Amino acid sequence: MTRASRAAQEELFDAASAPAPDREQLEPGAFVLRAFAAEEAPALLDAIGLVAQAAPLRHMTTARGWRMSVAMTNCGDAGWLSDRSGYRYDAIDPQTGRRWPAMPEVFAHLAARAASAARFAGFAPDACLINRYEPGTRLTLHQDRDEQDFDAPIVSVSLGVPATLLWGGAARTDRPRRVRLEHGDVVVWGGPARLNFHGIDTLREGHHALTGSARFNLTFRRALLRR
Ligand code: MD3
Ligand code: FE
């Protein structure tokens, strides 16, 4: 095929909105962008290190008093919290008494670009939850419903050791699909999929040159209504 005819074919491909091979659709409103963040990964991990210096990764407690196996921290205007009184967003980190660190530029930029690639224009996240998984840790099936704005999508970035996303439906009892998430993969959820149940299966032992035995996940959300 000549260069010109290849270009013409790619244009046709776009015009027909066929799913590009690097943009898998899980269901309407849910996309996996394979390796979308691979290039920025070292910068993202450096920024995670800086955030964690100001707001340490910690194991939160569920409302029922269980210690979460995944370590968490936040940056942005609002941080997600869990303790004996339940789940909520707060501008202040209870551990330091200070505001959460500002959202690093490299985070905000990547989140907006990923949302655009999944056809959600103008995504301006105000909250980023940073999760650290070590071997043996997991996140049980849940919904993300503590946000005030369900119209905005959610963008999630996987870094380091691969994990299995349990991708459920609108009801807790819907049998989840298993989706492998590797270093640099970005997932975008919005519209009808925004309130789907999901979780992360127990992390296996592994090694990644940039994170060692750990997997990091960044979850970008619009927690507060836009003023
Ligand atoms: C599906 N984190 O922090 S991100 C979470 O990899 C969380 O750390 C997981 O679930 C992680 O709440 C998965 C993927 C994700 C995020 C939001 C979703 C999947 C979602 C919202 C609706 C449906
Ligand atoms: Fe979640």
Contact 195/167 with Cβ under 8 angstroms? no
Band of the pLDDT at 11, cuts 50, 70, 90? very low
pLDDT tens per residue across span 102-127 = 999 999 999 999 999 999 999 999 99
The reported pLDDT for the residue numbered 201 is 98
Looking at the DSSP bridge assignments, the partners of residue 128 are 75, 220
The reported pLDDT for the residue numbered 23 is 83
Separation of alpha carbons 169 and 41, rounded Å: 30
pLDDT surpasses 70 at 19: no
Neighbours of ion ligand 2 (CB under 5 A): 144
Q: What is the dihedral of CA 106, 77, 53, 159, to 10 degrees?
A: -50
Go through the domains of the chain in sequence order and give each one's CATH number: 3-221 (2.60.120.590)
Band of the pLDDT at 151, cuts 50, 70, 90? confident
Nearest ligand 1 atom to alpha carbon 156: 4
The reported pLDDT for the residue numbered 124 is 93
What is the model's pTM?
0.90
CA–centroid distance, 144 to ligand 2, in Å, is 5
CA–centroid distance, 50 to ligand 2, in Å, is 23
| Averaged pLDDT, 10-31 | 66
144 lines ligand 1 (CB under 6 A): yes
DSSP secondary structure letter of residue 74: E
Exposure string over 140-167, b if 16+ CB within 10 A, otherwise e: ebeebebbeeeebbbbbbbbbbebbbbb
Separation of alpha carbons 36 and 51, rounded Å: 22
pLDDT tens per residue across span 50-61 = 999 999 999 999
* DSSP code per residue over 87-123: EEEESB-TTTSSBPPPPPHHHHHHHHHHHHHTT-TT-
Closest ligand to Cα 214: 1
* DSSP code per residue over 188-220: EE-GGGTT--EEEPPPPP--BTTTBT-EEEEEE
**227 class by beta-carbon count within 10 Å (0-12 exposed, 13-18 middle, 19+ buried):** exposed
pLDDT surpasses 60 at 154: yes
The reported pLDDT for the residue numbered 81 is 97
Band of the pLDDT at 87, cuts 50, 70, 90? very high
Contact 168/176 with Cβ under 8 angstroms? yes
Q: Whose CA is nearest to atom 11 of ligand 1?
A: 217
Q: What is the dihedral of CA 179, 181, 182, 186, to 10 degrees?
A: 130
